Structure 1
Amino acid sequence: MDAFAEFIAKIDHPLHRARTEEVLSWVNRQFPKLETKVAWNQPMFTDHDTYIIGFSVAKPHMAVAPERAGIQRFSADIVQAGYKHTNELVRIPWGIPVDFDLLERMIAFNIEDKADCSTFWRK
């Protein structure tokens, strides 16, 4: 989690900072084999140098980016959780609980789906 310390420290709002730290720590505990890094000013988790999931923060929400394939695979679940999404990211409003089960399924899907991927992003 040291890789994320500077990113987390820059989040001004205490509740947003705490939520972000909670989510990133949770991912790190649930998926300890994933590597951590900050790129494009976003904390992300990778596996064998391929992108698995990334996070960013904005005033109204935390954004989760599991790549387009992850959004497409879980679109109905994302909406059912009460989140809005685009083709590239899920917006979790600060006032709504994080659906950790959904997050776990998105990450597990990407790990499995990209097991043989030799590039950072899907092609």
Structure 2
Amino acid sequence: MEIFAEYLARIDNPSHRERLETVFGWITDNFQALTPKIAWNQPMFTDHGTFIIGFSTAKPHMAVAPEKAGILRFADDIAQAGYAHTKELVRIPWDSPVDLALLEKLIAFNIADKANCDTFWRK
């Protein structure tokens, strides 16, 4: 994940950095067609030039941004995982496990839903 090396190096907490590295590696292994990139100073993955999922960090959590459509579609799953969310992002507390099955649903949904999308963001 050379593309994310500089971003990860700025994360002071080693366990937070390791968690993100693990998540990014899992995405790369399981969704090989996605392109990792840094945009707006945040790591994200795209497919045919359209946004699929992005990440950011805060002191209490890792934020996962699948766009509003993914959050609406999987709001119940997000709540069952014990995560808080806004219209645009899911907050995964650093002391909670990452629900990879939920992450897989969010990514797979965006890939399928945006298969014919020719813009970066949904309109």
TM-score (ref. length: structure 2): 0.99
The code of the aligned residue for 2:35 comes to E
Instruction: Give 3-state SS (helix, strand or coil) of 1:24's partner.
Output: helix
User: How many Å separate the matches in 2 of 1:20 and 1:54?
Assistant: 11
Task: Let me know the Cα RMSD of the aligned residues.
Answer: 0.5
- How many Å apart are 1:30 and its aligned residue? 0.6
The code of the aligned residue for 1:46 comes to T
User: How many Å separate the matches in 2 of 1:32 and 1:4?
Assistant: 16
Structure 1: which 5+ residue stretches go unaligned?
A: none
Equivalent residue runs for 1:1-123 within 5 Å: 1-123=1-123
**Once the two structures are superposed, what CA deviation does each residue of 1:74-102 show, in whole Å capped at 9, x if it has no partner?**
00100100000000000000000000000
Question: Runs (4+) of structure 1 moved beyond 6 Å?
Answer: none
- How many Å apart are 1:10 and its aligned residue? 0.8
Q: Identity of aligned pairs, percent?
A: 67
User: How many Å separate the matches in 2 of 1:66 and 1:88?
Assistant: 7
TM-score (ref. length: structure 1): 0.99
User: How many Å separate the matches in 2 of 1:2 and 1:31?
Assistant: 17
